[in-house]
């Protein structure tokens, strides 16, 4: 769906008029383009000590123009602030002000990324699950680490020109160049994270292998996507297929025609199936095994809404939403893990929602189901880790879909602007986050929920 206002203020006269009237001036986001550089300019690495040095050296392997000083760098494509050895709140002042001194050099679509460690028991919200520490941290260390969260999220709200700010949290014992750390950095620096801002990814382990080909990180892998006939699900299937995966696309029989068309487009397997079927997990696994021999990635995208104020909610609306959005995922996961044919290092990616984090008027059933998904993902993480895999969730905010197109025009415009990027996301933004979590780039990332919301400013 077209954002007419974004089209208008993307022109010189429109942008000038919006500026004079004090109106939001969103810009088109820098999204993934295989022909474009990873970042739109030099990468400045701020921070002292061996951690910053090691990250700078690792980035050189990606043919980036890595700088340790801003002088003479011109427009910066990204700034990395390395704070993994922070031990007291006072130690944050110098690096924070150094970051502030170079923000005006950040190019449109640039990136700010912090690399720090979590405060156990506090975390950074629903975006990350903080591993428990072997021993309690001194209060000053925990305070300093959590202060980075406030710094980063405030910077994200100050940026303009489509720039974003996100953080990577290194669990204790994880070094700055562990595979999962570099994978997270690559995702957050790239155009694949265009609608992710103010978020943190926690890397909880040191094992894993980064993709040999960053444009085909799922080469040789088999993925199943539910709710794939249209919208976000169809885009997820396209994105995974473009990344090298062989795909099984799943949707209800009523969506058989668009499902078949998508399968033909992607040379995929189409499976007409209601995810509430008591044998849905077994049937998905059987379809993948019959065609490809195994199944490596499952994306639980199927979902419905039946909105009503709770005072007007009936049993059918409540039960149907919980059945599709949550109970089906629980049952399918049990069957997938109990069955034969799940590949090595399996990955499950679930679709949650910012409604499940902050709540939403008229969506008590939907918000409950999506909050349940977040809880399920956190609890199921050890089960997947025992298989060498991971389960994570993506929580979209306002995304331009057929569903949001039905929102009354005035409310739709307000919803688009209530995030730091001042616009709605696109289905491809959700798909790129799913791809990241489904690939080896997310090594050590498990049990987490990544918000793809442009740093929505409402609620939690």
End-to-end CA distance of the chain: 27
Q: 176, 153, 164, 182: which is closest to 48 by C-alpha?
A: 176
| Residue 291: Cβ within 10 Å count | 14
449: tokens are 């929920």
Kindly state the DSSP code that residue 146 receives in the 8-state scheme: H
CA atoms of 64 and 37, how far apart (whole Å)? 9
The residues, any chain, with a CB within 8 Å of residue 79's CB and separated by 6 or more, are 43, 44, 46, 99, 102, 103, 106, 110, 111, 112, 113
Q: Compute CA 294 distance to the chain's CA centroid, rounded to the nearest angstrom.
A: 26
Residue listed under structure tokens 């290092």: 345
Cβ atoms of residues 421 and 195 within 8 Å: yes
Q: What is the C-alpha to C-alpha distance for residues 38 and 50, in angstroms, rounded to an integer?
A: 24
Catalytic (active site) residue 436: no
The pair of structure tokens assigned to 180 is 């999962």
Of 183, 203, 176, 190, the C-alpha closest to 45 is 176
- Contact assessment for residue 124 and residue 169, using Cβ atoms and an 8 Å cutoff: yes
Q: What residues contact 105, with CB distance under 8 A and at least 6 apart?
A: 70, 73, 74, 75, 76
CA-closest candidate to residue 231, choices 253, 251, 254: 251
Q: Please provide the size of the chain in residues.
A: 460
Other CB atoms within 10 Å distance of the CB of residue 139: 9
Neighbours of 311 (CB within 10 A): 6
The helix (H) or strand (E) run that includes residue 394 is: strand 390-396
DSSP-derived letter for residue 425 is B
Placement of tokens 């939690």 in the chain: 460
Cα distances (Å, whole numbers) of residue 395 to 36, 181, 349: 27, 21, 11
Which one is catalytic: 187, 195, 200, 366? 366
Instruction: Specify the residue for token string 């050189």.
Output: 60
Q: Are 377 and 330 in contact (CB under 8 A)?
A: no
- What lies within 8 Å, CB to CB, of 381 at 6+ separation is 129, 390, 391, 446, 447
Q: Which of the 8 DSSP states describes residue 363? A: B
Catalytic amino acids? 366
């Amino acid at each position: 769906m077209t954002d007419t206002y974004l089209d208008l203020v993307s022109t010189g006269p429109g942008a000038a008029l919006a500026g004079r009237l004090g109106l939001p001036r969103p810009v088109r986001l820098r999204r993934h383009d295989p022909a474009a550089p990873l970042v739109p300019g030099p990468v400045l690495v701020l921070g002292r000590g061996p951690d910053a040095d090691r990250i700078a050296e690792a980035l050189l392997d990606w043919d980036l123009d890595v700088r340790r000083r801003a002088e003479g760098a011109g427009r910066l494509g990204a700034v990395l602030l390395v704070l993994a050895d922070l031990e007291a709140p006072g130690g944050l002042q110098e690096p924070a002000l150094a970051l502030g001194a170079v923000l005006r050099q950040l190019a449109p679509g640039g990136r700010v990324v912090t690399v720090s460690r979590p405060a156990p028991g506090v975390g950074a919200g629903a975006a990350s699950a903080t591993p428990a520490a072997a021993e309690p941290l001194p209060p000053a260390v925990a305070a300093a680490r959590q202060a980075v969260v406030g710094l980063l999220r405030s910077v994200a709200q100050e940026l303009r020109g489509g720039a974003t700010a996100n953080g990577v949290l290194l669990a204790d014992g994880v070094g700055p160049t562990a595979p999962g750390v570099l994978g997270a950095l690559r995702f957050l620096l790239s155009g694949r994270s265009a609608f992710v801002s103010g978020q943190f990814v926690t890397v909880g382990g040191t094992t894993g292998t980064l993709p040999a080909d960053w444009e085909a990180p799922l080469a040789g892998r088999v993925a199943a996507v539910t709710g794939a006939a249209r919208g976000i699900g169809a885009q997820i299937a396209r994105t995974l297929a473009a990344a090298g995966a062989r795909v099984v696309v799943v949707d209800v029989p009523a969506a058989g025609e668009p499902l078949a068309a998508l399968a033909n487009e992607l040379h995929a397997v189409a499976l007409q199936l209601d995810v509430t079927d008591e044998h849905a997990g077994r049937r998905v696994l059987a379809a993948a095994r019959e065609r490809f021999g195994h199944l490596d990635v499952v994306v639980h995208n199927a979902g419905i809404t039946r909105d009503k104020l709770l005072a007007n909610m009936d049993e059918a609306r409540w039960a149907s939403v919980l059945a599709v959005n949550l109970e089906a995922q629980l049952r399918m996961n049990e069957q997938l893990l109990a069955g034969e044919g799940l590949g090595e290092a399996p990955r499950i990616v679930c679709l949650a929602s910012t409604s499940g984090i902050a709540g939403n008027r008229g969506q008590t059933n939907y918000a409950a189901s999506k909050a349940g998904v977040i809880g399920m993902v956190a609890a199921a993480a050890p089960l997947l880790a025992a298989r060498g895999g991971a389960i994570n969730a993506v929580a979209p905010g306002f995304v331009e879909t057929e569903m949001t197109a039905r929102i009354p025009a005035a409310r739709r415009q307000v919803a688009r602007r209530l995030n730091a990027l001042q616009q709605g996301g696109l289905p491809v933004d959700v798909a790129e986050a799913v791809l990241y979590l489904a690939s080896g780039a997310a090594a050590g990332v498990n049990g987490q929920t990544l918000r793809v919301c442009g740093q929505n400013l409402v609620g939690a």
